[in-house]
Amino acid sequence: MSTLYESSLRSLPLLGRGKVRDNYAVGDDRLLIVTTDRLSAFDVVMGEPIPDKGRVLNQMANFWFDRLGHIVPNHLTGVAPETVVAPDEVEQVKGRAVVVKRLTPILVEAVVRGYLAGSGWKDYQATGAVCGVTLPPGLANAQKLPEPIFTPAAKAEIGHHDENITFDEVERRIGKALAADIRNISIRLYQEASEYAATRGIIIADTKFEFGLDSDGKLVLMDEALTADSSRFWPADQYLVGSNPPSFDKQFVRDWLETQDWNKAPPAPQLPAPVVAKTSEKYREALERLTGQVLA
């Protein structure tokens, strides 16, 4: 099965579909998360699947969960996805699914930025700050920040944009202690991942994490971690301050969409075959360059 736009498992109850992932119940305490080949840009799901994208994201997230497990527990159970579905459904989950603990999600996206880019650069140009975090004057596009900053967002419903919020607002929503834990852990995850990525010739400009609480109230890293969907990866050898460095993610699709007469609301324009192929190639290249692994 080269692409999977939407899973169709009948052996497990479907709980819901996100922009990219389909979630199924495995008993009362676990979930099966299937990473499809859907791609969203500007919070709109494209109509064309990106071959291999789901398997790349799954393998990349598992690499980081393993590498960063000493910082914070993650949601993986180690149960093989093939063992919880019917035999005729194995192909839908092979290489693209995980069985995870069912958690109480914390509805805050933990965004960490190490460089000025994207909406952060636009925000800085307009206000001299990013999501309320004041930065030194005179910074340029793609410039490395003096230190990584935590710029949280409130998770939105599918089809709506996540809303940037201040750290004070996070404290009001979830409490000061938990907010501080999430900020500190997120920055540590970003710093450690960035140091490793630098040895592979990759700059992690920014990334986002999601957390949940287990039945004991313990903080757990969930969803995905440091994938090409949740992060902005730049090749270090093509990085130039003041430019928009090329990236190993869906930026290629975003850039094409920006050339179209489209109001960034559904339905999205049809992606041309060369854009789909190039995007698939970018995802595979990110996996190989970052992890040293080929797609399994």
Q: What does the H/E/C string look like for the chain? A: CCCCCCCCCCCCCEEEECCCEEEEEECCCEEEEEECCCCEECCEECCCCCCCHHHHHHHHHHHHHHHCCCCCCECECCCCHHHCCCHHHHHHHCCCEEEEECCEECCEEEEEEEECCHHHHHHHHHHCEECCEECCCCCCCCCEEEEEEECCEECCCCCCCCEECCHHHHHHHHCHHHHHHHHHHHHHHHHHHHHHHHHCCEEEEEEEEEEEECCCCCEEEECCCCCCCCEEEEEHHHCCCCCCCCCCCCHHHHHHHHCCCCCCCCCCCCCCHHHHHHHHHHHHHHHHHHHCCCCC
What does the alpha-carbon distance between residue 253 and residue 268 come to, in Å, rounded to a whole number? 11
Q: pLDDT tens for residues 201-242?
A: 999 999 999 999 999 999 999 999 999 999 999 999 999 999
Using pLDDT thresholds of 50, 70 and 90, give the confidence band for residue 90: very high
Q: What is the homologous superfamily of the domain 105-249 according to CATH?
A: ATP-grasp fold, B domain (3.30.470.20)
Per-residue model confidence (pLDDT) at position 250: 82
Half-sphere exposure of 159 (CA within 13 A, CB side): 5
pLDDT (average), residues 249-271: 92
Q: pLDDT tens for residues 122-140?
A: 999 999 999 889 999 999 9
Per-residue model confidence (pLDDT) at position 98: 98
Every domain of the chain and the residues it spans: 14-102, 105-249
Residue 103 sits at φ, ψ, to 5 deg, of -120, 165
pLDDT (average), residues 45-60: 97
CATH fold group of domain 14-102: Phosphorylase Kinase; domain 1 (3.30.200)
By C-alpha distance, which of 110, 210, 118 is closest to 152? 110
pLDDT (average), residues 12-33: 97
> Is residue 278 within 8 Å of residue 57, measured between CB atoms?
no
pLDDT (average), residues 16-26: 97
Using pLDDT thresholds of 50, 70 and 90, give the confidence band for residue 157: low
Q: Is residue 1's pLDDT more than 60?
A: no
Per-residue model confidence (pLDDT) at position 137: 97
Per-residue model confidence (pLDDT) at position 251: 79
pLDDT (average), residues 96-122: 96
What percentage of the chain carries pLDDT values higher than 70? 98
Phi-psi region of 7 (alpha: psi -120 to 50; beta: other; left: phi over 0): beta
Cα 136–Cα 175–Cα 99 angle in degrees, nearest 5: 95
Per-residue model confidence (pLDDT) at position 48: 97
Q: Is residue 159's pLDDT more than 90?
A: no
What percentage of the chain carries pLDDT values higher than 90? 90
On average, the pLDDT of the chain sits at 95
pLDDT (average), residues 114-124: 94
Q: pLDDT tens for residues 56-79?
A: 999 999 999 999 999 999 999 999
* 68, 189, 212 from 101: Cα distances, Å: 18, 21, 10
